[in-house]
A = this chain, B = another copy of it.
């Protein structure tokens, strides 16, 4: 049964409707977007329900920022307003956009001199110190871009700052660059602001590890949440390129080094400290969020779930982030209806999930996974995510490695939307990157709880990488039509790849998981690690050995798959079903075995020891985060004990890999 090509007119229609109003999590407009998703599911003959959670979301009750200048100059007052443009079709609803702010920022009022700290990384603070500038007690001015904004605030706090202002430098995002900006060009206008969360955790901060289900549930109080270390303890605010430059002009002190400077017509950036007053406060409310879950029940194996997910809530209109993905999801729903009309039913159950409150910290998906953890752990086959499905040209995918082949095959069957003479796969492989597929070590979207908490094979696909109007007022349908995907062919391609992978996972009698890819990928990762710590007295042989065992087990199960496939016809059908199930269960459960109950050191919610966030690299997605963090710590502490802990982390990784190979084999020792 063939998955019909998605339709660009239909996708763009979905996107237009989803993005007609700003729809931040918890808003009426987002509830209306949920209704739209439900209506498309219903008309696609897909039963759906709402899974609601009561969670605390913060909204800016009031915030203000002004800069005291040396007398006799008057203070500079910032309006913190993103401007609409002449002819903006969304000008009449722009006031519904949540005012620029940081979700889960600390409510407080501070007044202190300003220091410029570049991207606010740990190494930037070292540079500052080398320049003789003390940021303690200051408000730091950082620019967006290299690390997660929550870490910008965290690093500032660790350095002793009392407040943080983060701006979008026009060198990175446009922000008034020569040659223009949105609506004429794709670049961020001078008044554009990147809103976002500064929360360091996942899911409702008051219910760590369990669901904020309706009715009564245990909740941490504010003190306990602050002690948990995942919410910032100093206030912060995002500002525009224009406001950033204004503040920058006021900063005195040493001139910053070349690579800390802005674009060539920008003012000279200095380190400070210079005068400045930040003043802001927030309101926090417990509100209801709504995940929409569409269910196409499997005909043969209703208790095995292939899950597609995308979030629905947006900081503003969300044309790229996230509703390009939502539009693709709805298009898939409609394609599946066509299949159903022709008599198809999936072998396994397909869940289509529209998550809420992702922007605040993956809240909707995390609460749902925490609530359904035990069922998902024994029944979920894979989770396939799309967040910003389309922000420009160029396909990319990240996945757990047993899915690599499947994704490659899917991209071979879909034309490149920007070059119809070849497949996505051909364009992708000719892009020159040595590693085709990325990995899902970092946080950043709703796959996190599925993979990193429960150990469910996962993938995330997208067209286009970063885009300049990210999280600003200008991420709207006009931007998408003009710059992101004028013909909506990239949307079509994203829906095609996503849908094909899902269909195969739902319909193939034997799960198309290849653990040889996993073994190879682990081998590469451990080789990299070996280079990194070659001069230390750390033995990686436990990992090398366990990978060998995984490889053997993968070859064995691949052979068993072939045997079963060859034997069809003479085995009685009945036994066949349980035999296939037995094989599939090993393929499904092997990924779970990479999780460890104790989780990552100091981040015990993260149970996966191969892919997870590193404390030292939140945007990173390298392997073995526990080892990486232990190495970084040992390099700082230089104690025998800290290197001993590196070796311990090596052993832990080797043990989960061994567990995975035992699961693939399926027999107790």
Query: What are 27 A-B residue pairs whose CB atoms fall within 8 Å in the complex?
Result: A210-B651, A210-B655, A213-B669, A216-B541, A217-B651, A218-B647, A218-B648, A300-B578, A302-B582, A303-B582, A303-B666, A351-B668, A371-B669, A372-B668, A373-B659, A374-B589, A375-B662, A375-B667, A375-B668, A378-B589, A378-B663, A379-B666, A577-B577, A597-B597, A597-B598, A597-B607, A598-B604
B-side contacts of A213, CB under 8 Å = 669
Q: For the complex, what is the distance from the CA of A612 to the CA of B324, rounded to whole Å?
A: 50
A662 touches B589 (CB 8 A): no
A506 CB → nearest B CB, Å: 16
Which of A201-221 touch B at CB < 8 Å?
209-210, 213, 216-218
Which of A562-583 touch B at CB < 8 Å?
573-575, 577-578, 581-582
Which of A159-203 touch B at CB < 8 Å?
none
Q: For the complex, what is the distance from the CA of A574 to the CA of B305, rounded to whole Å?
A: 20
Residues of chain A having any CB pair with chain B under 8 Å: 51, 209-210, 213, 216-218, 293, 300-303, 305, 351, 368, 371-376, 378-379, 541-542, 545, 573-575, 577-578, 581-582, 585, 589, 592-593, 597-599, 604, 607, 647-648, 651, 655, 659-660, 662-663, 666-669
Other-chain residue from B376, B378, B598, B669 in contact with A378 (beta carbon distance below 8 A): B378
In the complex where A542-B216, A648-B218 touch, is A51 in contact with B375 (Cβ < 8 A)? Answer: no
Interface centre among A301, A378, A575, A589 (most CB of B within 10 A): A378
Other-chain residue from B372, B599, B607, B666 in contact with A375 (beta carbon distance below 8 A): B666
B-side contacts of A379, CB under 8 Å = 666
- Copy tally for this chain in the complex stands at 2
B-side contacts of A648, CB under 8 Å = 218
With contacts A216-B541, A378-B589 known, what are 18 further pairs, Cβ within 8 A? A209-B598, A210-B651, A218-B651, A300-B575, A303-B582, A351-B668, A368-B668, A368-B669, A371-B662, A373-B659, A374-B593, A374-B660, A378-B585, A573-B574, A574-B577, A578-B578, A581-B581, A597-B599
B-side contacts of A372, CB under 8 Å = 662, 668-669
Tell me if A's interface is mostly helix, strand, loop or mixed.
helix
B-side contacts of A305, CB under 8 Å = 668
Of all chain B residues, the one with the shortest Cβ separation from A607 is B597
Other-chain residue from B293, B545, B577, B663 in contact with A374 (beta carbon distance below 8 A): B663
Q: For the complex, what is the distance from the CA of A378 to the CA of B669, rounded to whole Å?
A: 15
B-side contacts of A660, CB under 8 Å = 374
Of all chain B residues, the one with the shortest Cβ separation from A573 is B574
A638 CB → nearest B CB, Å: 21
A669 touches B51 (CB 8 A): yes
B-side contacts of A578, CB under 8 Å = 300-301, 577-578, 581
Interface centre among A217, A541, A545 (most CB of B within 10 A): A217
Q: For the complex, what is the distance from the CA of A351 to the CA of B371, rounded to whole Å?
A: 34
A307 CB → nearest B CB, Å: 9
Q: For the complex, what is the distance from the CA of A51 to the CA of B379, rounded to whole Å?
A: 30
Interface centre among A303, A351, A573, A662 (most CB of B within 10 A): A303
Q: For the complex, what is the distance from the CA of A660 to the CA of B374, rounded to whole Å?
A: 8
Q: For the complex, what is the distance from the CA of A581 to the CA of B302, rounded to whole Å?
A: 12
Q: For the complex, what is the distance from the CA of A577 to the CA of B592, rounded to whole Å?
A: 25
Q: For the complex, what is the distance from the CA of A604 to the CA of B300, rounded to whole Å?
A: 39
A381 CB → nearest B CB, Å: 13
B374 touches A662 (CB 8 A): yes
Other-chain residue from B376, B542, B662 in contact with A668 (beta carbon distance below 8 A): B376
Of all chain B residues, the one with the shortest Cβ separation from A599 is B597
A102 CB → nearest B CB, Å: 30
Q: For the complex, what is the distance from the CA of A667 to the CA of B651, rounded to whole Å?
A: 37
Q: For the complex, what is the distance from the CA of A68 to the CA of B658, rounded to whole Å?
A: 56
B-side contacts of A51, CB under 8 Å = 669
B-side contacts of A301, CB under 8 Å = 578
